[in-house]
Amino acid sequence: VSQDFDETQPMTRRTHPALDPDSLTSLRELADDDPSFLTDLLAVYIQQSDMLVATANDALAAADVDAWSRAVHSIGGSSRNIGALQLAAVCTAAEKLAREGNGAGSFVLIKRLKTEYEAVKGEIHLLRAVKITHRTDGEFRPIFHGFVHEGR
């Protein structure tokens, strides 16, 4: 999964998962035999990121560059931790634009950020559903096999 983000390219079609499978594998290895570690971690991620995305949105509307920059930095950091690498890349691009004082670009990126975040949340919910299946019938199912998401 590429970590580079090109803000000049429209995001019309997702051809890779929003959550990096290798990162998820690492987290599962860390979880060892504790099945709810990853679920709990992702729940914390969503709880934390919901607030941060709202903060970023408000900060941009209020033209508060520092608050915007801090919020997208935090979203990027926690996204990187769970393997949401494309979202992290959007956040890195947003921080760069904020440093350059590019307000118009920031308004473009908040839309990308929200779209990408929704994709991440969607995959987290899917992950939870698969996890329940895995726990009840003991059968392993690949989560991201052939995953294609139509973006805007």
Nearest to 41 by CA among 83, 97, 103, 12: 83
Does position 46 interact with other proteins (CB under 8 A)? The reply is no
Task: Based on the shown chain and the rule CB under 8 A, indicate whether residue 54 belongs to the binding site for other proteins.
Answer: no
Nearest to 48 by CA among 130, 121, 145, 140: 121
- 112 interacts with other proteins by CB under 8 A: no
**Separation of alpha carbons 57 and 67, rounded Å:** 10
Distances from the Cα of 83 to the Cα of 20, 54, 77, 114, 119, angstroms: 5, 21, 10, 17, 13
**48 is a contact residue toward other proteins (CB under 8 A):** yes
Here's the x/- map for other proteins, 57-96, by CB under 8 A: it reads as -------------x--xx-xxx-xxx------------x-
* Site for other proteins, rule CB under 8 A: 26-27, 30-34, 36-37, 40-41, 44-45, 48, 70, 73-74, 76-78, 80-82, 95
